[in-house]
Amino acid sequence: MVHFARAARAFAPKGAQEMVAATIRTVSTQPDPAQARETWRRVADSLRGRFPRVAALLDAAKDDVLAYLALPREHWRQIWSNNPHERVNKEIKRRSDVVGSFPNTAATLCLLDAILAEQHDERQVGRKYFGAEGLARLDPRKEGAAGPRADPPARRCAPPAEGRRPTTDVLPSRARAATSFHP
């Protein structure tokens, strides 16, 4: 919802962008799916006269943006938010800045794989983003079962080629300068 409201602003004149985004965000405050769909339709209709491009965007994106309504209500807030994605992206940027340059694509993928595996491990033992009870209700096979648990993907990082030092280690900047990759 956050990104859609931002994208819709681009279709409105500068002076009306905040109003357009705020009007679209009213959909996410509705207590049930029927009211949210009705509010979406009313918002599109109210914007159609002054901002036909925004209304056309709302009409085209309705099913995609309102897909969250099929999930249990307690999940809606997490689905609207993009904070977990932003945290992962920030960590990837931080670690890649520490590493500096990568010798090849495999080294980049190795770092990404390590970061995502670490995030997965932290979520297994730490705070769960979605509660187990809510996830159990999504499983159509049985009542109260969360379904089979997927194992984390196998790590793709191979040991460095003989005679080469790995460059994906997270090192302080002074240490990185002393051990940077030289073919």
Q: What is the mean pLDDT of the chain?
A: 76
Contacts of 172 (CB under 8 A, 6+ apart): 98
Domain ranges of the chain: 2-80, 84-178
Contact between residue 94 and residue 14 where contact means Cβ atoms under 8 Å apart:
no
Task: Give the pLDDT confidence score for residue 54 in this predicted structure.
Answer: 94
Whether the pLDDT of residue 140 is over 70: the answer is no
* Overall average pLDDT of the 155-159 stretch: 54
* pLDDT at 125 (0 to 100): 73
Single pTM value for the model = 0.54
Confidence of residue 68 (pLDDT cuts 50, 70, 90): confident
Q: Which long-range contacts (CB under 8 A, 24 or more apart) does 52-60 make?
A: 53/11, 53/12, 54/8, 54/11, 54/12, 54/20, 57/7, 57/8, 57/11, 58/8, 58/24
> Which pLDDT score is estimated for 43?
95
Residue 178 scores a pLDDT above 70: no
- The answer to whether residue 83 scores a pLDDT higher than 90 is no
Q: Tens digits of per-residue pLDDT, 105-136?
A: 898 899 889 988 888 887 777 666 666 666 67
Write the pLDDT tens digit of every residue in 29-58. Answer: 888 899 999 999 999 999 999 999 999 999
For residues 181 and 165, what is the distance between their CA atoms, to the nearest angstrom? Answer: 7
**Confidence (pLDDT) at 183:** 40
**Biggest distance spanned by C-alpha atoms of the chain:** 68
Looking up tokens 């999930």 gives 71
pLDDT greater than 80 at residue 167? no
The whole-number pLDDT of residue 129 equals 63
